[in-house]
Structure 1
Amino acid sequence: MAWIYLTIAGFCEVGAVISLKKAEGFKRLLPSVLFIVIGMMSFYFLSLSLKEIPMGTAYAIWTGIGSAGSVLLGMLLFKESKSIIRMLLLSMIIIGVVGLKLTS
């Protein structure tokens, strides 16, 4: 279950970042509230995963999911750059996350 909790935490992290972007500096109420709620969910599920997964591994995977997911959704939703170098660096994050999972 710990790995499932960690995955949920990572996806919640992506949701929190997207909500933060949509909140426009906390000027919009609904995205601001969503950021707080989803961010709390992210930390809650991360804390559950830490009962079984080493802290360094869990944190690296949590931030990796959050980073990679945020970059991908930024490209899709906010028309951020899709340059080759960004894609290469993104793939390195994903390879690192998968590597940590496989070695844990």
Structure 2
Amino acid sequence: MNWVYLILAGVFEMIGVLMINKMHKDRNLISIVLLVAGFGLSFLFLSLAMKTLPMGTAYAVWTGIGASGGAILGMIFYGEPRNALRILCIAMVLGSAVGLKLVS
């Protein structure tokens, strides 16, 4: 269950990051509420995951999911560059997170 919590924490981190960009474009109450909810739930699930997972592993996987997911969402929703080198770097971050899972 701890890995499920960690994945949920990463997903909510991605939502929080997406809402930062949305808030800069549309300053409205819904964007702010979703931003706070995204990061709040992200921290909640991260703290639940860290009850049993090592801190270094949990934090690295959480930030990897958030950073990679944020970059992917930026490509999908905001037209950020989609070149091969950028995608390779995202894959390396995700591969590192999977590697940490395998050795934990």
Q: Indicate if the aligned counterparts of 1:23 and 1:29 stay in contact, CA closer than 8 A.
A: no
Query: Match of 2:82?
Result: 82
The offset of 1:85, in angstroms, is 1.2
Q: Which amino acid aligns with 2:98?
A: V
Task: List gaps (5 residues or longer) in structure 2.
Answer: none
Query: Match of 2:69?
Result: 69
Q: How many residues align?
A: 104
Query: Match of 1:14?
Result: 14
Task: List gaps (5 residues or longer) in structure 1.
Answer: none
Q: Indicate if the aligned counterparts of 1:20 and 1:26 stay in contact, CA closer than 8 A.
A: no
Give the TM-score of the pair, scaled to structure 1. Answer: 0.95
Aligned-residue Cα RMSD (Å) equals 1.2
The offset of 1:26, in angstroms, is 7.8
Q: Which amino acid aligns with 2:6?
A: L
Give the TM-score of the pair, scaled to structure 2. Answer: 0.95
Query: Match of 1:36?
Result: 36
Q: Indicate if the aligned counterparts of 1:8 and 1:42 stay in contact, CA closer than 8 A.
A: yes
SS at match of 1:24: helix
SS at match of 1:27: coil
Share of identical aligned residues, percent?
43
Q: Which amino acid aligns with 1:39?
A: F
Alpha-carbon displacement from aligned partner over 1:26-78 (angstroms, at most 9, x marks no partner): 83221111101111100000000000000000000000000111111110111
